Amino acid sequence: MQNYIFELIKEEKIREEKTINLIASENYASPEILQATGSILTNKYAEGYPGARYYGGCQVVDKVETYAIDMCKKLFNAEHANVQPHSGSSANFGVYFSQLKPGDTVLGMALNAGGHLTHGHKINFSGSIFNFVPYGLSPETEQLDYDEIEILAQQHKPKIIVAGASAYSRTIDFEKLHKISTNNNCLLLVDMAHIAGLIAAELHPSPIPFADFISSTTHKTLRGPRSGFICCKAEFAQKIDKAIMPGIQGGPLMHVIAAKAIAFEQAQTKEFKKYQEQVIKNAKAMAQTFTELGYRVVSGGTDNHLFLIDLQDKNKKDNLPETQKLSGKVVEQLLQKCNIILNRNTIPFDTQPPTNPSGIRIGTPAITTRGFVETHACSIVHFIDDAIKNRFDDDFLNKLKIKVEQFCKNFPIYKD
């Protein structure tokens, strides 16, 4: 029976190799990271922290975790790091659990403005346990409205302001948010999951001097294993560690912690910085090409690894009848037929539901890991535009799929 799963892993490898991946939150982990994640460290129980475990035989994993903590602190210049959160959600839960009581008020970016489920959505634990007040974007600029955040903070007196997003293409001003949190006597949590790699490469201002807590995943721009971590000021170290274990987690995943250590190490190299520079160049080139082809890019462009396309605007410009209208879901499914993978996404002030929103989100971390540069990124935009223009022509779409497969073949993700 096991063979079935190994066959499926092979099938997934072929799928990844043959498709162009524009999902902004995905990437391809290095062979070293895959090796550590698949290592015998998975065998070990190590509840507790280095030097203070509830199990014997932890002498080696203690070294692994200590090294991961050191690498994380060094990379982000942090006073304290906890590398045990299994995911970004656990990391956020850990921060909330360390500081809040049920019902406490928190400000977080609304999901439909580009925030994240764990920033207070009502169907998520965050929104059901705590009193989250959402903030959004300026309708004029489609960018964060720091004055609005300040007013909301004055009105609602939150214990924490949560910054960070999963679909926001502009630089976040952490210094301004720090001022707002200080003025209003509350704490600042920056969830940097999407931009962690850009921050590590010093291509986005770091939240470290300004935030009390930083949460993150490790598998997006940071290009590590699928997991999370927290950095915080030294004064919160004990509370954070207690909140993660025994608060919300049991045994840490030592194989994943080892892989995180490798990711933190890899993120300190010159190659990584060059990679992140190319991620941004590719995103800017794609946003520019979309604009030239008549698409509206939300907020007019991008400063980071992603951007959103407003398909309602395209429907209006092309004067499309109801039956031919584009939506996020229609385009996601259409492109999948041509081996181009992205996700539907709400756009700011979307009138459509998240299941079939008015936008698509495009990210460049994965294609850049593959070696694509601006010319390739622009070709991908033309593939997308061609698919949209010829969406009722199956023969065209089949030919485009073959073209995309050929395009991918020249850039293998894994050499062997």
Alpha-helical runs (H) found in 159-253: 174-183, 196-200, 237-242
Torsion (CA) 310, 316, 318, 324 in degrees, nearest 10: 80
Closer of 161 and 342 to ligand DSN (Cβ): 342
Shortest reach from residue 88's CB to ligand DSN, in Å: 5
Indicate which residues carry an active-site annotation.
45, 47, 191, 217, 220, 226
Query: Cα–Cα distance between 190 and 192 in angstroms, integer?
Result: 6
Is residue 166 involved in binding ligand DSN (CB under 6 A)? yes
Q: Strand 340-341 and strand 20-21: pairing?
A: parallel
- Cβ neighbours, 10 Å, residue 245: 20
Of residues 88 and 207, the one with the C-beta less far from ligand DSN: 88
Contact between 221 and ligand DSN per CB under 6 A: no
The answer to whether 27 contacts ligand DSN (rule: CB under 6 A) is no
Residues touching ligand DSN, count (CB under 6 A): 4
> Amino acid letter at 222?
L
Question: Which of these, 358, 363, 346, lies nearest to 113 by C-alpha position?
Answer: 346
Q: Give the Cα separation of 255 and 39 in Å (integer).
A: 6
Distance CA 152, CA 162 (A): 13
88 vs 359 by CB, closer to ligand DSN:
88
For ligand DSN, give the closer residue by CB, 88 or 158.
88
Q: How far is the CB of 234 from ligand DSN (least distance, A)?
A: 28
Options 48, 88, 108, 127; binder of ligand DSN; rule CB under 6 A: 88
Q: How far is the CB of 116 from ligand DSN (least distance, A)?
A: 6
For residues 159 and 163, give the distance between their C-alpha atoms in angstroms, rounded to a whole number.
13
Among residues 254 and 287, whose Cβ is nearest to ligand DSN?
287
Helix, strand, or coil (residue 123): coil
Give the residue, chosen from 21, 25, 181, 368, that forms a contact with ligand DSN under the rule CB under 6 A.
25
Residue 312 engages ligand DSN in binding (rule: CB under 6 A) = no
Residue in the block written with tokens 């190490």: 265
Minimum distance of ligand DSN from residue 306's CB (angstroms) = 9
- Work out whether 228 is an interface residue with ligand DSN (CB under 6 A): no
Three-state SS at 187 = strand
- Closest approach of Cβ 284 to ligand DSN, in Å? 20
Residues found near ligand DSN in the complex (CB under 6 A)? 25, 88, 116, 166
